[in-house]
């Protein structure tokens, strides 16, 4: 729904709108007091989106742009000064990874945040984050509406795992797949240079295995790819370890790629959550490594196991060119959407078109790899791995 009637409501309830500039804008640029906040973990491209939001706001004529430091926490922590943003400040931030504004998980309750926004007279809020952050953004939007504040709350989905419903891809994913190649190639070299070498690489992917699947396909160097969506046994006649034995005996070495959310059933339930509300996962990478060492020791076959966890070295990278373009368009569209008076929406690319989507539509559950999809079958063809059940 457009602002025309009800200020800053969500566009319809379920429908998608084509993203882009609108003929009629809802805010007078000189009255805009925009804020940007980045939440959750790092993801390549955060600075590109921040930069493009600032540049596009300036093109509209906005003068007051504020960076909220360290996620929702920054609305309150008085020790950390907010950051005044302009083209000059953001000009080259996309050349560096991380977030200029800082990130954090969790934060104060919605009512307090909206109180604070009122105090600061913020009337455009751009929120970069994952599912939890978007739920927060939606709640802020609803609270603002309840208070009849004229505020546009616009999300930009940030998930390196590429697991947002309806979206072709999210920013940072392409970079993550690219940068995973280094780790995979290192594991391959370690495995092939060792006698009976086994390289294990853990990649991101809490509930979906897109990074592991794409990185395996791109590398051409993975023998076994394990993802959360496809159950597997480690032990037993059809288990991963038996296949590793077969690989050592036939090829002399093997490389395994495992998504962080895979095989959680093997791990003791830690049963706790981080500040974002995400379940803290057990470390499947370390588990596979230990079980592999133990297995080969038990059967008396020498095996030289090397384990690589490149997560933080991937997350902290700057966006590659493809993600750079995606971030640029998302950032531009976020501003166009806010100026058009949309609120409670998020931006994305859907069937190759850039769109605005109502937040609740995309956050109900994570998008998954379909084990019957062509892409997963291509991955299986590439690795040559059997079913592990």
Contact between 313 and a copy of itself by CB under 8 A: the answer reads yes
Cβ atoms of 62 and 334 closer than 8 Å = no
Burial of 197 (0-12, 13-18, 19+ CB in 10 A): buried
Nearer to a copy of itself, 116 or 185 (CB): 185
Residue of 322, 360, 361, 368 interacting with a copy of itself (CB under 8 A)? 322
How near is the Cβ of 186 to a copy of itself at its closest, in Å? 4
CA distances from 20 to 49, 61, 121, 142 (A): 15, 17, 26, 24
Q: State which of positions 163-222 bind a copy of itself (CB under 8 A).
A: 168, 174, 177-178, 180-183, 185-187, 189-190, 192-195, 199, 214-215, 217-220
325 binds a copy of itself (CB under 8 A): yes
Comparison of 2 and 326: residue with beta carbon closer to a copy of itself: 326
Q: What mask, x for binding a copy of itself by CB under 8 A, covers residues 108 to 147?
A: ----------------------------------------
Residue 74 and residue 80 in contact, taking contact as beta carbons nearer than 8 Å: yes
Tell me, yes or no, if 298 is annotated catalytic.
no
If the CB atoms of residues 1 and 316 are measured against a copy of itself, the closer one turns out to be 316
Q: Is 371 in the site for a copy of itself (CB under 8 A)?
A: no
Distance CA 313, CA 204 (A): 11
Q: Which two tokens stand for residue 289?
A: 């490594």
When asked if residue 97 is in the footprint of a copy of itself (CB under 8 A), the reply is: yes
Measured distance CA(264)–CA(269) in Å, rounded: 8
The first and second tokens of residue 180, run together, are 């995973």
Place of tokens 């370690």: 190
Selecting among 5, 48, 77, 161, the annotated active-site residue is: 161
Q: Of 141 and 367, which CB lies nearer to a copy of itself in the complex structure?
A: 367
For residue 36, which of 17, 18, 22, 55 has the smallest C-alpha distance?
Answer: 55
88 contacts a copy of itself (rule: CB under 8 A): no
What is the footprint of a copy of itself within residues 42-61 (CB under 8 A)?
Answer: 42, 48, 51-52, 56, 59
Nearest to 133 by CA among 316, 357, 346, 334: 346
Instruction: Provide φ and ψ at 254, rounded to 5°.
Output: -155, 150
Confirm or reject binding of residue 321 to a copy of itself (CB under 8 A).
yes
Catalytic residues: 161
């Amino acid at each position: 729904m457009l602002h025309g009637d009800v200020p800053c409501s969500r566009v319809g309830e379920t429908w998608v709108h084509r993203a882009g500039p609108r003929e009629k804008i809802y805010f007078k640029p000189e009255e805009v007091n925009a804020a940007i906040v980045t939440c959750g973990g790092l993801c390549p491209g955060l600075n590109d989106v921040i930069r493009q939001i600032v540049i596009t706001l300036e093109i509209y004529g906005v003068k007051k742009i504020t960076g909220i430091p360290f996620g929702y926490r920054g609305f309150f922590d008085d020790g950390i000064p907010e950051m005044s943003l302009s083209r000059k400040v953001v000009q080259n931030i996309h050349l560096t990874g991380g977030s200029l504004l800082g990130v954090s998980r969790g934060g104060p309750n919605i009512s307090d945040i909206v109180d604070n926004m009122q105090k600061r007279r913020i009337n455009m809020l751009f929120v970069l984050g994952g599912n939890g952050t978007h739920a927060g953004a939606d709640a802020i939007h609803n609270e603002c509406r309840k208070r009849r504040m004229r505020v546009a709350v616009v999300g930009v989905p940030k998930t390196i795992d590429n697991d947002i419903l309806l979206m072709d891809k999210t920013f940072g994913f392409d970079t993550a797949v690219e940068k995973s190649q280094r780790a995979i190639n290192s594991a391959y070299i370690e495995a092939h240079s060792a006698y009976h070498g086994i390289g294990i690489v853990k990649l991101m992917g809490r509930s979906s295995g897109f990074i592991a699947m794409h990185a395996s396909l791109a590398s051409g160097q993975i023998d076994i790819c394990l993802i959360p969506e496809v159950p597997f046994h480690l032990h037993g006649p059809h288990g991963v370890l038996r296949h590793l034995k077969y690989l050592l005996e036939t090829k002399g070495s093997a490389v395994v790629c495992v998504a962080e959310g895979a095989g959680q059933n093997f791990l003791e339930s830690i049963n706790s959550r981080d500040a974002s509300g995400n379940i803290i996962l057990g470390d499947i990478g370390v588990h596979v490594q230990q079980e592999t060492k133990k297995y080969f020791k038990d059967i008396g076959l020498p095996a030289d196991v090397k384990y690589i966890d490149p997560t933080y070295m991937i997350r902290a990278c700057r966006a590659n060119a493809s993600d750079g373009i995606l971030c640029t368009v998302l950032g531009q569209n976020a501003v166009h959407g806010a100026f058009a008076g949309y609120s409670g929406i998020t931006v994305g690319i859907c069937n190759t078109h850039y769109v605005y989507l109502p937040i609740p539509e995309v956050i109900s559950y994570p998008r998954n790899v379909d084990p019957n999809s062509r892409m997963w079958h291509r991955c299986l063809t590439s690795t040559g791995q059997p079913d592990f059940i």
